[in-house]
């Protein structure tokens, strides 16, 4: 286990309600174990529904795993949250991902 992963797990222990720590751990795990990363992003999408970065990463991960329908569903959920938060940058990013998924 890398020092970065150990550090992130410690941060999660210290601040379990901070979604960024979970998100950062998921990003680190993408390079090592996509399914562990998937579990983290899924849990984060359920417990911190308003944390927008999760939707992008989870959608892209589903796409990489060949789960197009799940990717589309997650990205659409993220689009709804981005609209509610009036986060235009994330909304554009998610719409771009959705277009890519629909073009495939």
Give 61-78 pLDDT, tens digit per residue. Answer: 999 999 999 999 999 999
Q: What is the pLDDT of residue 104?
A: 73
pLDDT of res. 84: 97
Taking the model in full, what pTM does it have? 0.91
Range(s) of the domain holding residue 92: 3-103
Contact 59, 71 (CB under 8 A): yes
CB 95 within 8 A of CB 72: no
**In the chain, how many domains are there?**
1
List of the chain residues with pLDDT < 70: none
The CATH number of residue 18's host domain is 1.25.40.10
| Tokens linked to 36 | 């562990």
State the Cα–Cα distance between residues 79 and 55, nearest whole angstrom: 8
pLDDT of residue 39: 97
Q: Which two tokens stand for residue 49?
A: 């529904």
User: How far apart (Å, rounded) are the C-alpha atoms in residues 12 and 47?
Assistant: 14
């Amino acid at each position: 286990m890398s020092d970065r992963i150990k550090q992130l797990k410690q941060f999660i222990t210290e601040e379990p309600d901070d979604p960024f720590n979970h998100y950062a751990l998921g990003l680190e795990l993408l390079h090592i174990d996509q399914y562990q990363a998937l579990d983290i992003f899924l849990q984060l999408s359920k417990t911190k529904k308003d944390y927008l970065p999760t939707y992008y990463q989870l959608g892209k991960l589903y796409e990489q795993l060949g789960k197009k329908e799940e990717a589309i569903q997650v990205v659409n959920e993220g689009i709804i949250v981005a609209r509610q938060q009036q986060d235009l940058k994330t909304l554009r990013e998610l719409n771009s991902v959705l277009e890519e998924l629909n073009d495939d």
